[in-house]
A = this chain, B = another copy of it.
Amino acid sequence: MQMFGIGELARKAGMATSTIRYYERIGLLPPSKRVNTKRRYDTSILQKLSVIRMAQHAGFTIAEIQTLLHDFPVDTPPSERWQSLAGKKISELNELINRVQTMKLLLEQTLQCHCPTIEDCAKVEENMDTGELGVKPCCGVETISNVQIVTEH
């Protein structure tokens, strides 16, 4: 099996060696194989780092990623603990998507209007009960709404 050191891994994964050591120290990565004190990795580590990076980009904290990786279901079917965890995460991601969509609408609208300030322009509405945000059209711009996220199976 092809093995390589921390320097090459860092290059392959596009991150600093210090980050990899840090991940190992906090237990996000398992203790690596050692050859005479030096860390040695095989390609499977890259998969792991990809998952970590993707989760981070999606807004997960390191602590959350720890939990997700640690509590991964080893039994069949997935434990209830994992199910509720993943379920909660999924709905958090849905909320995030909504917020980002709203922000996008706001920005797109400002590109088409002539209002004096951003607050006047994209009329931001906040439902104080639910905390939800909405954007109303302004200054003659035709209505932009009905955002749909379609996930086909």
Interface residues, chain A, with chain B CB atoms under 8 Å away: 44, 47-48, 50-51, 54-55, 57-60, 68-69, 72-74, 76-78, 82-83, 86-87, 89-90, 93-94, 96-97, 99-104, 106-108, 110-111, 114, 116-119, 121, 124, 126, 133, 142-153
Question: Quick one: closest B residue to A135, CB to CB?
Answer: B54
Copies in the complex: 2
Asked if B107 and A103 sit within 8 Å, CB to CB, the answer is no
Query: What are 22 of the A-B contact pairs (CB < 8 Å)?
Result: A44-B119, A50-B119, A50-B124, A51-B106, A54-B124, A54-B133, A57-B96, A58-B104, A68-B118, A69-B118, A72-B110, A72-B117, A72-B118, A73-B110, A78-B111, A86-B110, A90-B107, A93-B100, A144-B151, A147-B151, A148-B151, A148-B152
- A78-B110, A86-B111 as given contacts; A54 in contact with B103, CB under 8 Å: yes
Q: State the CA gap A108–B93 with chains docked (Å).
A: 12
Known: A57-B99, A78-B110, A144-B151. 10 other contacts (CB 8 A): A44-B119, A54-B99, A54-B103, A54-B133, A72-B110, A76-B114, A83-B111, A97-B97, A147-B152, A149-B149
